Amino acid sequence: MNRWKELCKSSTLLWNADLCLRGIAQVMLQNNPLSGALFLAAIVWGSYASNAPRLAIAALIATVVATLFAQWLRVDRDALEAGIYGYNATLVGLALATFLAPGALLWVYVVLGAIVSVVATLATSRALQPSGLSALTFPFVLTAWLMLLASYGFAGLSGTALPSGAVVAPFQAYPSDPLDFAGFLAGVFRSISQVFLKSDGIAALLLLAGLAVSSMAAAILAFAGAVLAVVTAHILGAESDLITGGLLGFSPVLSAIAIGTGFGRLGLRIAAYTALGIVFTVVTQAALNVALTPFAIPALTAPFVLVTWLFLLPRQCMETTQSAKSAGDQPDL
């Protein structure tokens, strides 16, 4: 790892490659080029497996463009070197290429989206400064939502995988589903891979490996988050296809990592608090799926952003508590 750092210092190209890999790693909140490489492998494999190499190409182009544009803006160097200006672009590239039909304008759109995601990242960080929160994937959600919505107004861009618009209607009953073990496993692993908009078990394993090389706690939280999300969604009676496709679990996976590692030490109280956040992210994912029905766009990771902000804002309260507890002056509940 030290040798890699030395190499990066000696070559502008390698230094930029390092920035891009860290950018990809930050999608799951890691600051580690090896994680980024494994995540990139997951993206490439997932794109290859779903016969759509343009997804990986869009993700890569977007990450590179954003990394260069951030340097043109002369952003804060520490944040730049942590990959903070890359991950939203990675996701914008993936989302635009996933939900829009291929074509020349798609690539213009990917480059524009990557650039705007950097501006949105700077703006969000600045707006959140007083609250002490970080931007999470809000810049991605904002940029992608606007660009996907706009595609309905442009003949040059058309949707392929976008949901169809409808007013909200009561849930249609369907034959009950016992959620067998295969379905459960599929739901758990796809929940992890859907963070990168993939529905693929091997991609999920690569992502878990990428997390593990950077932080074992993050890998465990991600897996536990996926399990708890699938169970919660099943108990509440969510549609089986959504559960086994991982579509109710990717936001909870991110919430698990962000809330679970958002406090100093992961004790029992924080673990319980994180579990609560995971459960409520499932509810919020279902809620935003419904709320976005009339707009014919996907919820993306908005539920993760909303619930994580909600659960990290009272951080002060939990932390004074935590330190008070370690000081031993309050009985454990």
Site for its own copies, residues 11 to 70, rule: CB under 8 A: none
Q: Are 100 and 106 in contact (CB under 8 A)?
A: yes
Please state, in angstroms and as integers, the Cα–Cα distance from residue 149 to each residue in 5, 59, 162, 167, 184, following that order: 41, 20, 10, 16, 33
Single-letter amino acid code for the residue at 43: I
Q: Which of 50, 81, 159, 275 binds its own copies (CB under 8 A)?
A: 159
110 lies in the site for its own copies, by CB under 8 A: no
216 lies in the site for its own copies, by CB under 8 A: no
Residues 240-259 touching its own copies, rule: CB under 8 A, are: 242
Comparing CB distances to its own copies, the nearer of 25 and 300 is 300
Residue 160 DSSP one-character state: S
Residue 179 CB, shortest distance to its own copies, in Å, is 13
Residues 130-149 touching its own copies, rule: CB under 8 A, are: 130-131, 145-147, 149
The closest of 167, 65, 155 to 107, measured between CA atoms, is 65
Q: Which of 13, 153, 181, 328 binds its own copies (CB under 8 A)?
A: 153
Residue 134 CB, shortest distance to its own copies, in Å, is 14
Residues 162-191 touching its own copies, rule: CB under 8 A, are: 164-171, 173-174
Read off φ and ψ for residue 159, nearest 5 degrees: -75, 150
Taken in order 114, 117, 119, 125, the sign of the CA dihedral is: negative
Residue 201 CB, shortest distance to its own copies, in Å, is 25
Q: Tokens 């619930």 identify what position? A: 307
Neighbours of 166 (CB within 10 A): 9
Which range binds its own copies by CB under 8 A, 17-25, 87-95, 152-160, 189-197?
152-160
